Amino acid sequence: MKIGVFWLIAAAVGLALVVLTRLYFTNEYFFFAAYVVLQYVVLSTAWNILGGYTGYINFGTGAFFAIGAYSSVVLHKLPALLKTFDMVIPAIPLPVMILVGGIVSGMVGLGTGYLTLRLRGVFFAIATLALAVVVQTLIVNWDYVGGSRGIYMIRPPKAPLGGSYIQYLYALMMALCVISVGIARWIERSRLGLGFAAIRDDELAAEAGGVPTLRLKLIATTLSGALMGMAGAPLPYYVTYLEPASTFNLAYAVNSVAMPVIGGMTSWVGPILGAILLGTIQQLGSVGFFLDLNIPPTFNLLIVGVLLILFVIIMPNGIMGLISARQRRRATIIETALQQQRAA
């Protein structure tokens, strides 16, 4: 399938999902829940560009996500701030906030990449964990964006696409899904993806083969960070009350690692499968959907933990890994049969 064709199909699927769900679901809660699942599709796809393709495990998803969210807060307050200097600008539309959130997180991705990519394996992971702590400390102490007590975000009065504002947020997140999945799939099939895979498998051998490893790793951290920031940018309008403790929730980091692992890290399909599977279970869990059971909120992280352990034991390469292993086995059998035939 040509790249252009895939983009068209992905966009069509995204649009169809937005239109159909609007026709069939009248309950607002559906869009609240679906938004979170879609947000995880973006986060796990973004995580996988660095973690799955180049093999650098990032525990700092929360930081990039929050940078996106808080850059939206700044942009939201910008007209009021400028007014004190007698400058009048209209309220900044959300798509612009998403773009800016992506750029800011991408820059932070580039910067942290430059500082930390000399570290490998677990040391890189620890450095990204530290990044999350640093960013959280900065936000908690930054009064303009609400500091530790948080900030109320008044949604714009009208949703640009008709329907409720939450439906608009849902449609935007769907668009981000299409964009991030399209980018991931393009990377996978391009020269860039081949270079990423070479880095993941053996960095010295990649260099010996002419791969500019540092430059490629910086591209990966920048892209991955930018997409995470874009996923976080609409969050303030989604929650309407943004505060650091929940924005930097461990769940973002844990989920965006667990979802690609469960779905499979070597293909763009894996993070989608993992995000839909885990995200949906968590949404059902957080409603206490089943039989009005009194399910505690920590149930969500428990599910992630249990599933992660099960998958690491049963399917270490995720759902997609299982499928591709079966395909390879079949190909091998056919190949040997053909060779024997030729020999006979």
Partner 1 sequence: MSSAQTDNGPLLAVSGLGKRFGGFVALENIDLTIATGERVGLIGPNGSGKSTLVNCLCGTLRNETGAVLFDGRPVDGLIAHERTRLGLARSFQLPKPFHTLNLIDNLRVPLLYTVNARPGHHLSDEQVAARCAELLEAVALADKARRLPRDLTQVEMRKLELARAVATEPRLLFADEAMAGLSPSEVEEIIAVLLRLNQQGITIVLIEHIMRAVMSFSTRLVVLVAGQKIADGMPQEVVRNPEVERAYLGE
The neighbour count for residue 7, using CB atoms within 10 Å, is 17
**Smaller CB separation from partner 1, 20 or 208:** 208
The answer to the question of residue 198 lying near partner 1 (CB under 8 A) is yes
The answer to the question of residue 211 lying near partner 1 (CB under 8 A) is yes
**Smaller CB separation from partner 1, 54 or 283:** 54
User: Are the CB atoms for 276 and 333 separated by under 8 Å?
Assistant: no
Give the interface segment with partner 1, choosing from 5-13, 75-83, 198-206, 230-238 (CB under 8 A): 198-206
x/- map, 117-136, partner 1, by CB under 8 A: --------------------
Binding-residue total with partner 1 (CB under 8 A): 25
Give the interface segment with partner 1, choosing from 101-109, 123-131, 159-167, 203-211 (CB under 8 A): 203-211
The correct pick among 69, 135, 183, 206 for binding partner 1 (CB under 8 A) is: 206
- What is the rounded distance in angstroms from the CA atom of residue 4 to the CA atom of residue 66? 32
Burial 132-171 (b: 16+ CB within 10 A, else e): beebbeebbeeeebbeeebbebebeeebeeeeebbbbbbb
x/- map, 249-288, partner 1, by CB under 8 A: -----------------x----------------------
**Smaller CB separation from partner 1, 63 or 220:** 220
**Smaller CB separation from partner 1, 107 or 194:** 194
The answer to the question of residue 182 lying near partner 1 (CB under 8 A) is no
**Smaller CB separation from partner 1, 279 or 321:** 321
CA geometry: angle 175, 276, 98, nearest 5 deg: 30
The answer to the question of residue 335 lying near partner 1 (CB under 8 A) is yes
**Smaller CB separation from partner 1, 170 or 196:** 196
**Closest to 230 in 3D by CA, of 172, 156, 283:** 172
The answer to the question of residue 331 lying near partner 1 (CB under 8 A) is yes
Give the interface segment with partner 1, choosing from 91-99, 210-218, 230-238, 246-254 (CB under 8 A): 210-218
C-alpha pair distances (Å), 126 with each of 19, 121, 129, 132, 242: 42, 9, 5, 10, 27
Q: Name 16's Cβ contacts closer than 8 Å, sequence gap at least 6.
A: none
Give the interface segment with partner 1, choosing from 92-100, 174-182, 193-201, 288-296 (CB under 8 A): 193-201
**Smaller CB separation from partner 1, 143 or 201:** 201
Q: Which helix (H) or strand (E) holds 242?
A: strand 241-242
Question: What values do phi and psi take at 153, rounded to 5?
Answer: -120, 115
- What is the rounded distance in angstroms from the CA atom of residue 227 to the CA atom of residue 66? 12
The correct pick among 194, 239, 303, 323 for binding partner 1 (CB under 8 A) is: 194
The radius of gyration computed from the CA coordinates of the chain, to the nearest angstrom, equals 21
The answer to the question of residue 212 lying near partner 1 (CB under 8 A) is yes
Burial 37-58 (b: 16+ CB within 10 A, else e): bbbbbbbbbbbbbbbbbbbbbb
The answer to the question of residue 4 lying near partner 1 (CB under 8 A) is no
Site residues (vs partner 1, CB under 8 A): 191, 194-195, 197-198, 200-202, 204-214, 266, 328, 331-332, 335, 339
